[in-house]
Chains A and B, each alone.
Chain A
Amino acid sequence: MAEICLGFIVLGLVAYAVFGGADFGAGFWDLTAGGAERGGRVRGMIQRSMAPVWEANHVWLIFVLVIAWTAFPVAFASMFSTLSIPLFLAALGIIFRGAAFALRGQAGTIREAKVLGALFASASVLIPFFLGAALGGIASGRVEVGNAAGDAIDSWLNPTSVTVGAIAVVTGAHLSAVYLAGDSVRADLPDLVQAFRKRALASGVVAGALALGGLLVLREDARDLFDGLSSGAGLAMILLSGAAGAVTLALVWVGRYGLARVTAAAAVAAIALGWVFAQEPYLLPPDLTLEQAAANDTTLTTLVICVGAGFVILVPSLAYLYRLVLQGRLDQEFEPLDQRFRPLSASDNAEARH
């Protein structure tokens, strides 16, 4: 039962990285899109693509947390008390990111949109970094069992954490560029397809380079983790992830964005699984194993049944949402963000404007 619950957590983390991570990545491109006029089209596309799905995507994080504290309460409490600084900063980022994005959709002037956009975009970069840094602290064995028992700073400000944080930011940006290129094809906007294609290729190369360099960092800083990733199932997953990443770049190169979505997501999933295999049998290395961390069997069984039953409702609902999105049925009219605020001119059809 503990393994099934861990499976839920890994599923949730992968889904959060693939869907939520891409939303953060969209924020990265929003941040780097340039001035209001130059970046207006990129930002308009981001606003349009993210708006219907970001809330549902974000719920995967909540899902991971609730499974963690129910199935592995001592591990959850140890992580959150030791990693309180990066997690608090991530939480603040989550407030700014979500609120500023939602409010930018209602902004009335370009100035408001700029301020809200800057908040949304910078928070979108900081959240994956801090969450990644927290994961790096766990993976490198820096979270001790106990109430704030680990070092409050070193647990997240260390070579492994910084590496994982950077990889999280760049991977999200890459995923997002792949998705946005696909959305731009659907919206029939060739200039944006090209813009996001370039970004997808560049960020994919950077992500690959960071991952390779990261392995060297792990070799020095977190030897146990490195050994796990460089042998057996861990190694297989790393190779699989690298292959999926390479295939993604090739697919983006030839403009097959739909398939590239799938392979890009597979690359992320393989990394997460590789991490799980690498630190097996530990949940909090080097002391707490999965079995030791697991809650009472009654709780685990009840949780698995409840979540399983919930999935019967949840999975078709999610499938319905993503089907509507990918069919373009929830698409709003495309509008460059800076154009929304220009004064009405005689050529505008007043009826069609929102």
Chain B
Amino acid sequence: MGELGWTMLAVAEVAETLGGGTQPDLLAARQMQAISLGVHIPIVCFGIAFPAMILFVEGLYLRTGNPTYKALAKRWSKVALVIFAVGVVTGTILSFEFGLLWPEFMATFGEVFGVAFGLEGISFFVEAIFIAIYVYGWDRLSRRAHFLTGIPIVVSGFTGSLWVIAVNGWMNDPEGFDVVDGQVANPRPFDALFNDHLPHELVHMYLAGYIVAGFVVAGVYASAWLKGRRDQYHKTGLVVTLSFAALAAPMQVVVGDWAGRQVAENQPTKLAAFEGLVETQDGAPFTIGGWYDETDEEVKYGVEIPNLLSLLVHHDPNARIEGLEEVPAEDRPPVNVVRYAFQTMVAIGTGLALLGALFLLTWLRKRRLPRSPWFYRAVMLAGPASFVALIAGWITTEVGRQPWIVYGVMRTEQAVTNADGLEIGYVILGVVYVSLAIAVFWLLRRLTSKPPSTELAGPQAARVRSVR
């Protein structure tokens, strides 16, 4: 969508459907939504990527009959079930919050994007059914049947996130409805869902799932490796997860480039906020670090690399980039938040891609793991780092969308509830989520500290008994 499309969107703002007064606690509503998503998104990464890794290891067991693989896959499946259980509840909270926090958004646009959640609900259902069958079906279903019950988990993990991302893509690139006299009319659900932002957001998130889940789990085994546990069980755990993450991380660089160019086309103001670029210019520079000064409208103390932004966005060093000045100040997102989030994501993403490439090259050329302990320390760090990059990327796209909840059509302040007590709710939810995170972390450590042989019975256990 070019400049014309942008102008057309701006005139097509909608009025609230339900009507009512103003909400003084808009920020509390946004923060509640933010912590809820911040807890849920990392869980989604595991939902997307972990089942495929588990099935891969189970596949190794079916091919070789080696019980070590079975012990590993079974252990992982129990971890996956705990994470899924937490995802069930945090996902429920999100669907409640749609109504509790953003009733105007739902009342106005529910008929436009809601179908996606109908499909997501079905996916979620299938995922819940088969993850239960898979985890409780070890040693009770035939080997083949058990493996097959894992496949719907992988597929529904993908389709579930597909539909949610379709809605997010639509919020950034609203299509599939008309605005007549400030009212939404003629909803076309599938036009809305298959919007221009869906493809890159989907691939970007999907790879992020593999990167986060891969590096977080690999970090656990890298730590074991440094403590001298280098048996087949731990080595498999490390190599499988690291391979998934290492393949995804360099690909993510290419997808990130694609995403950036799509944003430049549809949401030039968001792209300008990534960079703190105020003036529309040819051959725009890329500025690293520094601080965006709201009053002087410029980035201070940053390192400027001439023409790089134009080169990155349009693959032409002299291309024109639109600056923040194209829209009035009240239509711009908070530049510093978006810009720091964006730069954090890019920096960490680059580092993860290099780490992944190092692992792949060593593995392919020398057929062994890297020897330096620093590699394992880096992998341990890569887990939390990828988590930070994930959250930073999400802040980039969602805060970068502000002040709009539906880009160019409805402002976030129009969408919010008129109910009182949002700040109380925010504090309570924050405390609950922090305790939840601590409890889950602690119990996952407990679950994974048992010897692998406890996953097996009889002679299989004896074969794995030597592993601590």
A residues contacting B by CB (< 8 A) are: 51-53, 55-56, 58-59, 61-63, 65-67, 69-71, 73-74, 76-82, 84-85, 87-88, 90-92, 94-99, 101-103, 106-108, 145-149, 152, 295-296, 298-299, 302-303, 306-307, 310-311, 313-314, 317-318, 320-321, 324, 329-330, 332, 351-354
Q: Does B89 lie within 8 Å of A98, measured CB to CB?
A: yes
Within the complex, what minimum Cβ distance (angstroms) separates A193 from chain B?
23
Q: Does B122 lie within 8 Å of A84, measured CB to CB?
A: no
**B140 interface residue (CB < 8 Å to A):** yes
Given contacts A317-B152, A330-B137, contact A77 B104 (CB under 8 A): yes
Given contacts A81-B417, A317-B130, contact A147 B20 (CB under 8 A): yes
Q: Does B132 lie within 8 Å of A77, measured CB to CB?
A: no
Cα A62 to Cα B92 in complex, Å, equals 7
**Contact of B436 (CB < 8 Å), options: A90, A99, A330:** A99
Which B residues touch A58, using CB under 8 A? 88, 92, 128
Cα A330 to Cα B125 in complex, Å, equals 18
Which B residues touch A95, using CB under 8 A? 89-90, 93, 432, 436
**B260 interface residue (CB < 8 Å to A):** no
Which B residues touch A92, using CB under 8 A? 428-429, 432
Which of B85, B103, B132 has the most C-beta atoms of chain A within 10 angstroms of its own C-beta? B103
Which B186-213 residues have C-beta < 8 A from chain A? 186-190
Which B residues touch A107, using CB under 8 A? 443
Q: CB-CB contacts of B450-468 with A at 8 A, as 1s and 0s?
A: 0000100110010000000
Which A residues touch B121, using CB under 8 A? 59, 62-63, 66-67, 310
Cα A227 to Cα B130 in complex, Å, equals 45
Within the complex, what minimum Cβ distance (angstroms) separates A67 from chain B?
7
Within the complex, what minimum Cβ distance (angstroms) separates A109 from chain B?
10
When C-beta atoms are compared, the residue in chain A nearest to B84 turns out to be: A55
Q: Does B86 lie within 8 Å of A62, measured CB to CB?
A: no
What total of chain B residues lie within 8 Å of the partner, measured CB to CB? 78
For the complex, would chain B's binding face be called helix, strand, loop or mixed by DSSP majority?
Answer: helix
Q: Does B129 lie within 8 Å of A99, measured CB to CB?
A: no
Cα A203 to Cα B140 in complex, Å, equals 35
Which B79-118 residues have C-beta < 8 A from chain A? 81-82, 84-86, 88-93, 95-100, 103-104, 106-112, 114-115, 117-118
Cα A51 to Cα B447 in complex, Å, equals 17
**B262 interface residue (CB < 8 Å to A):** no
Q: Does B118 lie within 8 Å of A332, measured CB to CB?
A: no
Which B residues touch A96, using CB under 8 A? 432
Q: Does B16 lie within 8 Å of A354, measured CB to CB?
A: no
**B124 interface residue (CB < 8 Å to A):** yes
Cα A107 to Cα B203 in complex, Å, equals 37
Which B residues touch A103, using CB under 8 A? 82, 439-440, 443
Cα A62 to Cα B88 in complex, Å, equals 10
Q: Does B85 lie within 8 Å of A88, measured CB to CB?
A: no
Which B residues touch A329, using CB under 8 A? 137, 140-141
Q: Does B118 lie within 8 Å of A106, measured CB to CB?
A: no
When C-beta atoms are compared, the residue in chain B nearest to A299 turns out to be: B111
When C-beta atoms are compared, the residue in chain A nearest to B102 turns out to be: A77
**B144 interface residue (CB < 8 Å to A):** no
Tell me which of B54-62, B241-249, B321-329, B418-426 binds A.
B418-426
Cα A57 to Cα B137 in complex, Å, equals 18
